[in-house]
Amino acid sequence: MAKIVLGVGASHSTLMNTHWEETTHKAEAERFRDALHATRDRIAAAAPDVVLILGSNHFRGFWLDLIPAFTLGVGECNSSGESGTPQGPQKVDVDLARHLANELIEGGRFDLAYSARLQIDHGQSHAIQYLLDGLDVPIVPLVVNVFAPPLPTFERCAELAGALRAAIADYPADTQVVVVASGGLSHRLPWPDWRDPHGEDEDFMVQAWLDGRENWSDYDVRRRQIIRAAEAAITPEFDDHILDLFTAGKASELAGYSTSEIEEQAGNGAQELRTWLMMAAMMDYIPAERLAYEAIPEWLTGMGVAVLDPSYSYSP
C-alpha cells in the first residue's frame, strides 16, 4: 500500500524571482533560500514516487466564474508560469490522483471538485521550482481556495486531510508519497473581498478576477503594480506561535482558528495556512523540525519552512 514518508510546509513568494537583487534583507533571504535547498535534499532522500502538493489559488487558474473550495488535479496539469515560475505541462501521477478522487467521492468520504485539465499558479509551481528542482517525480496537485470568500473552514480542511490520508493508505501500489504544503505565513495582499470592493484598485482587481480567464496577462501589469505598492504587514509573533505549534506536535490547534481570526492576526495571506494544517493532519500531527523563519518585508511575507519526518527523532 502507499505510504506518506515526509511532510513539508514552505512559504512562497514570486518576489524571490522578480526582485531578488532589490531585496535589502539579503542575509534573511539567503537563509530562507538555503532552507528551501536543504528541504529539497530531504525530499530527494525520502525517494518519493509522487509528491502531493497542497497549494492556494491566485486567480490564474480559478476565476470568479467558478471557485470550488477544493480541486484535485486528475489529468493534465499546466502551470501559468507567472513571475519566473515553471510554465507549461507538469507530470501528474494520474493513477493515484484518480484513486484519491474515486475513494473520496464514490467512497462517501468527501465531496470535492476535480479537474482533468487543471491550471495551477505559483501556489503550486513555486514549490515545484524550489523543492522539486532536478527531481524527476510526478505530482498530484490539490488547490485550496483561500482568497475568494467564503472560504472552507480550517476544521473542514483538516477533515479533508484525514480522508486523503485514508485514501492514500488504501492505494494498492507500493508508493512512497511526500506531502508539500505551499503558502503562508503572515502577510497581507492588497486584495479585496470580491463581494465588497472599495475604490478604483479594488474594483479593478475584482474585474480582473471575473474576466481574466482567457486574457489574464492583459491585467497583469497593473495588478503587479498594486501588489508592489503595498506595504508589508508581517506579524512575527503570530508566525513564531504557529511554528511552535508545529514543532510541539500541536498543529491540530490550527483547526480551531476562524477565517476572521486569521485575517485579524496575520492578514489575508495567512489563510494559506490551511494547506499547512492539511499537511500536518496527513502526517498525524507528528512534531515538526523548523528549518527557517525570516520576516522579509520586500517579499511582503513571513517566510517559513518546516519538515515533518516520521523517521526523525526530535528532542522535546
SS (H, E, C) the chain: CCEEEEEEEECCCCHHHHCCCCCCCHHHHHHHHHHHHHHHHHHHHHCCCEEEEEEECCCCCCECCECCCEEEEEEEEEEECHHHCCEEECCECHHHHHHHHHHHHHCCCCCCEEEEEEEECHHHHHHHHHHCCCCCCCEEEEEECCCCCCCCCHHHHHHHHHHHHHHHHCCCCCCEEEEEEECCCCECCCCCCCCCCCHHHHHHHHHHHHHCCCCCHHHHHHHHHHHHHCCCCCCHHHHHHHHHHHHCCCHHHHHHCCHHHHHHHHCHHHHHHHHHHHHHHHCCCCCCEEEEEEEEHHHCEEEEEEEECCCCCCCC
CB 43 within 8 A of CB 307: no
The pLDDT of residue 314: 58
**Does the residue 276 lie in any domain?**
yes
Look at residue 202 and tell me if it is in a domain: no
pLDDT value of position 227: 84
The label of the residue with cell 528541504 reads 39
How much is the average pLDDT of 240-257?
98
Per-residue model confidence (pLDDT) at position 87: 93
For residue 294, give its domain range. 3-189+230-308
Q: Say how far apart CA 245 and CA 249 lie, in whole Å.
A: 6
Answer whether residue 198 is part of any domain. Answer: no
d(CA 220, CA 232): 20
Q: What is the CATH number of the domain that holds 130?
A: 3.40.830.10
Residue 263 is predicted with a pLDDT of 96
**220, pLDDT greater than 90:** no
Q: All 3 cell numbers of residue 109?
A: 468520504
Domain count for the chain: 1
| pLDDT (tens digit per residue) in 49-95 | 999 999 999 998 899 999 999 999 999 999 988 888 999 999 999 99
pLDDT on residue 291: 98
Residue 312's pLDDT is 76
101-121, pLDDT tens digit by residue? 999 999 999 999 999 999 999
Distance CA 273, CA 279 (A): 10
Residue range 21-60, pLDDT digits in tens: 999 999 999 999 999 999 999 999 999 999 999 999 999 8
Residue 84 within a domain: yes
Question: 67 φ, ψ to 5°?
Answer: -130, 90
d(CA 49, CA 174) in angstroms, rounded, equals: 9
* 241: confidence class by pLDDT, cuts 50, 70, 90: very high
Cβ atoms 256, 247 nearer than 8 A: no
Q: Please indicate whether residue 307 or residue 219 has the higher confidence score (pLDDT).
A: 307
Whole-number Å distance between alpha carbons of 202 and 191: 7
Q: Quick check: is 32 in a domain?
A: yes
In a domain, 210, yes or no: no
Residue 179 lies in a domain: yes
- CB contact at 8 A, 184 and 14: no
Looking at 50-64, 168-182, 215-229, 273-287, which range is the least confident one?
A: 215-229
Task: Quote the distance between the C-alpha of residue 308 and its chain's center.
Answer: 16
Q: What is the mean pLDDT of residues 140-161?
A: 98
State the chain's mean pLDDT as an integer. 95
pLDDT band, very low/low/confident/very high, at 214 (cuts 50, 70, 90): confident
Say what the pLDDT of residue 5 is.
Answer: 98
Q: Is residue 161 part of a domain?
A: yes
> Which pLDDT does position 315 carry in this prediction?
54
